[in-house]
Amino acid sequence: MISLNVNGVVHEVNLSSPEMPLLWVIRDVIGLTGTKYGCGIEVCGACTVLMDGEAVRSCQVSANEATGRAITTIEGLSPDGVSHPLQKAWLQVQVPQCGYCQSGMLMAACASFNGHSDDGITNVCVCGTYQRVKKAMTLAKTL
């Protein structure tokens, strides 16, 4: 049994292995499906969540490593799903096309927006909406 703080709620989870990737704990055990599975090898970023404010690829972080850390998923970004400045900008600029990568993209943008990352966004978007993402990140600073 381990305790995980996800979106401000402590979840006591009984796992067969504490080495289970955080992605699967979030999706299959806790039931928050906004975080997506993409590649499973920490490349695409569809599974990006915030851990203590920093963007991490949850497919390569074990549940055990996340114990005692504050995890934020796309569901925890804002109470209504649209009120965070980045979410407002995302909608205004119409960033997503297919939308599959967008929860991870938003979480990576959030880490940058909050000053936790200077590396930029390395998430992969097959639709190629990078220019819209950049425009939305700039707009969010004014909202």
The residues spanned by each domain of the chain are 2-140
Residue 75 has what pLDDT?
Answer: 97
- Per the prediction, the chain carries an average pLDDT of 95
| Contact predicate 39/100, CB 8 Å | no
For the entire predicted model, the pTM comes to 0.94
Q: What is the mean pLDDT of residues 42-48?
A: 97
- Angstrom distances, CA of residue 127 to CA of 54, 95, 124, 130: 25, 10, 9, 9
How far is 116 from 56, CA to CA, in rounded Å?
11
| Strands of the chain, DSSP E | 2-6, 9-13, 48-51, 54-57, 70-72
Q: Is 61 left (phi over 0), alpha (psi -120 to 50) or beta?
A: beta
Query: Which of these CATH numbers, 3.20.20.80, 3.40.50.10860, 3.40.50.720, 3.10.20.30, describes 2-140?
Result: 3.10.20.30
Residues 114-142: tens digit of each pLDDT:
888 766 789 999 999 999 999 999 999 99
pLDDT, residue 118, reads: 63
The pLDDT of residue 116: 81
48: pLDDT strictly greater than 90? yes
